[in-house]
Structure 1
């Protein structure tokens, strides 16, 4: 049965007023990426983009170049992060521009990244920059904003239902009430939504599945499912004793891949699998503890992706998604886009697995 590969996409890489205010005029995450330095022996930093360069996502040429590359290597579509704070939109311009441009053909879906924003990158964990407030009026306004996207023929669907993801349903005071409001509005417009919840941090497992969600999405590597307990004891013990995080968490990627390959087949509820090419947020935390994988290579990623691709059994003809985190999380060292070290190596592994299993 056919499987659709969905790459999570961060539409961050262009200047906008909030970044100017919070981080300095002209800031994008390219600034964090370019100034990163190795923090331990053989630490792979900085990650410097290759084929697509330090792009600006306001430019149509940049967005089309991303889509062309994704299609060339077997990516079915992008899952764009969406940022909405009671009508205040952030990082919306690339996706709004795509909606208006029929030549940007790659299928897509949206994921509402519904967390509050804090000054984490500068050490101000208690300083809130912008926060969410949930209410029915906002649910209605939010749906009305989405409606042109849901009606777009490029929007990814399951049995005619637009797929909409939410990053942290647990943050809602009443998630099911919000979804019911959205479904009522969708019904008035002649369709229903297919709701997915991301499983990040400790919010994974059947007990965290909302009644109104159709499926879950495993979110790698945040959903570690016990890995931390086995491989991150020193940071955990220090945090417990001091209530502070002092030590960085540096994990061997090969061991993490082995951990994933050894997991039991997942059958308890509908959950789409995911994989990640790497992880390293050191560029966002220059003088703070950070977390990263070391020695993440295309070959190891290819082993993991091949295992998921071969073992995942779609739930139906169109419930067939495999997610990859991420297409372009450069400041988290987590990107399929080519860099100077590995080139298109991670993308080539995806294409190879697909070709071998068609």
Structure 2
């Protein structure tokens, strides 16, 4: 019998207005603002990504959150990994998850990932302009865990051997990751939460052994930026084009890669000597957010995604009955082009591909 696997889909709570986004980006801004104005940059470029079944939803609406959970469960997703934004006691984009927590609905498993980056204007090319800055301290670490106690105590919260799973997106920016982890573990026990199961995300930069930092495991964020294949096209220099009497292409500053090449590169990576939960992504294209320097995958299809997910499911052996996660990036990252939610081009085909693979591992 195949291993039992729990597929967790990463979930972005950006789809509702907030005072901060009104101030920084304009009244009524949500992720849909970027999604709707995206345009194709070259022949065959799949933009814009437009939602189908769920439409341009507002995550303040309970019925929307219920429909998302019902759809995810129907196609084999075990739970959502909600991104959580904490800036020295200040939270943003918190309303959807807070309403999930307080209402008890939907009755669908979840865990949290602290997206601990500075909040900048990088979406419009001004990455150096910091809107909200992360400041770290022992006291803030303690206050942070105290604030999470109600979530960790929820019966829907995803656990490993009874330990709530908490994920950190960028451990490399923590001044002292080991100290932060030790503080969290100590405070959780003091609060009666008990032991935590802590993971770091293998995203940008080197991928250190999580155990050496005090974490229990790592999450394979896809795409793995450190292991991407060469650019498919768009790398010609302007000078060369001028010499040929051609105008510079409008996507010269974008990094464009073939999805199949990315999958092949990800599959060929060596397995690390620590606990790493595998990940996949149905696609990637953040040109809706970035006017230049976008990372764009071409030629993604549900069949190619299904093949990648099947390879991961077949080759991954759970570390224990509860250490059996696969991470899918993402449920609803519409402005980054990676979403399982139905779109107007593919309908539910990515969800159907997900279910064909996962049904044997539930």
Give the TM-score band, short-chain normalised: over 0.9
Find out whether 1:344 has 2:345 as its counterpart.
no
Shift, 1:148, TM fit: 0.2
Q: Hey, what's the Cα distance between the residues in 2 that align with 1:48 and 1:338?
A: 9
Q: Secondary structure at the match of 2:42?
A: coil
2:68 to 66, 69, 73: 66
Shift, 1:357, TM fit: 5.2
Shift, 1:237, TM fit: 9.7
Contact 2:285 2:296 in 1 (8 A): yes
Find out whether 1:198 has 2:201 as its counterpart.
yes
Contact 1:234 1:247 in 2 (8 A): yes
1:1-358 matches, cutoff 5 A:
1-190=3-192, 191-206=194-209, 210-221=212-223, 223-228=224-229, 230-231=230-231, 247-264=253-270, 266-286=271-291, 288-356=292-360
Contact 1:83 1:114 in 2 (8 A): yes
Q: Hey, what's the Cα distance between the residues in 2 that align with 1:232 and 1:134?
A: 40
Q: Deviations over 1:19-51 (max 9, x none)?
A: 000000000010100011000101000001001
Q: Hey, what's the Cα distance between the residues in 1 that align with 2:105 and 2:234?
A: 51
Q: Hey, what's the Cα distance between the residues in 2 that align with 1:356 and 1:188?
A: 41
Shift, 1:187, TM fit: 1.1
Q: Deviations over 1:174-210 (max 9, x none)?
A: 111111111111112331100000011223143x654
Q: Hey, what's the Cα distance between the residues in 2 that align with 1:256 and 1:352?
A: 22
Shift, 1:350, TM fit: 1.0
Q: Hey, what's the Cα distance between the residues in 2 that align with 1:36 and 1:22?
A: 20
Which 5+ residue runs of structure 2 have no aligned equivalent? 239-250
Contact 2:4 2:361 in 1 (8 A): no
Shift, 1:52, TM fit: 0.6
Q: Secondary structure at the match of 2:14?
A: coil
Q: Hey, what's the Cα distance between the residues in 2 that align with 1:45 and 1:246?
A: 17
Q: Hey, what's the Cα distance between the residues in 2 that align with 1:28 and 1:135?
A: 31
Shift, 1:103, TM fit: 3.0
Q: Deviations over 1:253-287 (max 9, x none)?
A: 112122223334x251100000000000111113x
Alignment TM-score, normalising by the size of structure 1? 0.93
Q: Hey, what's the Cα distance between the residues in 2 that align with 1:199 and 1:295?
A: 25
Q: Hey, what's the Cα distance between the residues in 2 that align with 1:107 and 1:357?
A: 17
Q: Hey, what's the Cα distance between the residues in 1 that align with 2:11 and 2:237?
A: 34
Q: Secondary structure at the match of 1:105?
A: coil
Q: Hey, what's the Cα distance between the residues in 1 that align with 2:212 and 2:85?
A: 21
Q: Secondary structure at the match of 1:84?
A: strand
Alignment TM-score, normalising by the size of structure 2? 0.92
Q: Deviations over 1:102-129 (max 9, x none)?
A: 2311100000000001111222121111
Q: Hey, what's the Cα distance between the residues in 1 that align with 2:74 and 2:108?
A: 11
CA RMSD of aligned residues (A): 1.9
Which 5+ residue runs of structure 1 have no aligned equivalent? 239-244
